[in-house]
Amino acid sequence: MTTETARREQSRLKNGLQTLLIMGGLALVLAVPGYLLAGGLGLLMSLGAAVVGALAGSWVPARVILAEAGAGLVERHQAPTLYRLLDALYRRAGLAGPPQLFYTPSPDLNAFAVGTRHDGGIAVTAGLLRTLTMRELAGVLAHEVSHLRHGDTRVMSMAAAMTRLTLFLTTVLQVSLLLMLPMILAGELRLPWGVLLIVAFSPTLSTLLQLALSRHREYAADLEAASLTGDPQGLASALAVLERRHGRWLLALFGRHPPAGPEWLRTHPSTRERIRRLLAAEAPAGHAPPWPVGDPAHSPMIDEPPGPLGRGYWLRR
């Protein structure tokens, strides 16, 4: 095992442990208000509701997003080069199912994974295809394939479900405390300071943990993408392009770059730090690029882009 391979394995193990710790923290924050409301039964019901909500919501929100974006399913004959690239990335990632590519006519530069490793796919926008080179696009697609490989859509759905349920339960606790206020003022009940602290801080703590989980999964997907393509510089270049385009949009909107918020309030890590980590990673030895040699500098457009499939298709899917 080479030094770089060992470092990648250590990084994967570290990210896996961080994910488990953060998910455990989210479960603990959720369990406390559930226990205060209904004891052990409330604890079990709150955790069970979070799991059911995550399983039900890991694909439905993606379908809604695709429907609202006017997405269409790209057939292989419409984008043979892109599908050859996806075939290579899926094979290297160990994904058995055939790749699915969705297209949205949006001018924004965006790509996102939908569904799971068994029935999911990757959506790309027209703006992304027009802007990135084939090498950069390979890095972006590898990043999304990594999300599918590790089930990040389901993990983040579960985290979001826990956060929403924590907010709901603490709201119920707040209402209960308001109803008990006359009894507290009359001296019949003592003011439950511990409950007040939980009501005050649980939603914020759950949100911060969810944001931390999102940043960790982005870092892990970046390193995994570099391993799949054997080209960390390709994804780093794509991130730089996306950052420049985003910065120009903010400059046109505000007249100046707005101050960046604290790192712990972001869903994604800073682009500068992501690029730094990618450039610090070494390309795997003997790992050929997954895109065909001799392709044009820019990624090919989709021949006859598909029209929107409509809300009915996505809801029936």
- 3-class state of residue 263 by DSSP: helix
The Cα 220–Cα 230 span in angstroms is 15
Q: Would you list the DSSP string of 126-147?
A: HHHHHHSBHHHHHHHHHHHHHH
Residue that is written with structure tokens 């439950």 in the block: 192
The Cα 27–Cα 314 span in angstroms is 31
Active-site residue identified among 4, 68, 144, 218: 144
Instruction: Residue 184: name the closest of 170, 195, 199 by CA.
Output: 195
- Neighbouring-strand partners of residue 121: 114
The Cα 217–Cα 22 span in angstroms is 11
DSSP assigned state of 76: G
Phi-psi region of 95 (alpha: psi -120 to 50; beta: other; left: phi over 0): beta
Instruction: Residue 59: name the closest of 157, 134, 130 by CA.
Output: 157
| Token duo for residue 123 | 């959506």
User: Does residue 144 carry a catalytic annotation?
Assistant: yes
107 and 127 Cβ atoms separated by less than 8 Å: yes
DSSP assigned state of 122: E
- Looking at the annotation, which residues are catalytic? 144
